[in-house]
Amino acid sequence: MHGVVHSLLQQFIVETYTKEVWDKVYISAKLQTKEYLPSNIYGDEEFSKVVIETSKILNKSGEILQEEFGEFMLPHLMKMYSSFVKPTWKALDFLENVEEVIHRTVRLKNYGAHPPTLFVKRINSKEIELEYNSPRKMTHLLLGMIRGTGKYYNENLVITPLPQEGSIYKVLIKVH
CATH fold of 73-175, please? Answer: H-NOX domain (3.90.1520)
Question: Could you tell me the pLDDT band of residue 105, with boundaries at 50, 70 and 90?
Answer: low
Residues 6 or more apart from 148 whose CB is under 8 A from it? 70, 71, 72, 73, 74, 75
Question: What pLDDT, on a 0 to 100 scale, did the predictor assign at position 164?
Answer: 87
Helix 44-58 crosses helix 62-80 at what angle (to 10 degrees)? Answer: 120
pLDDT in tens, 89-103: 999 999 998 887 776
Domain ranges in the chain are 3-60, 73-175
Residue 40 to residue 47: CA distance in whole angstroms:
13
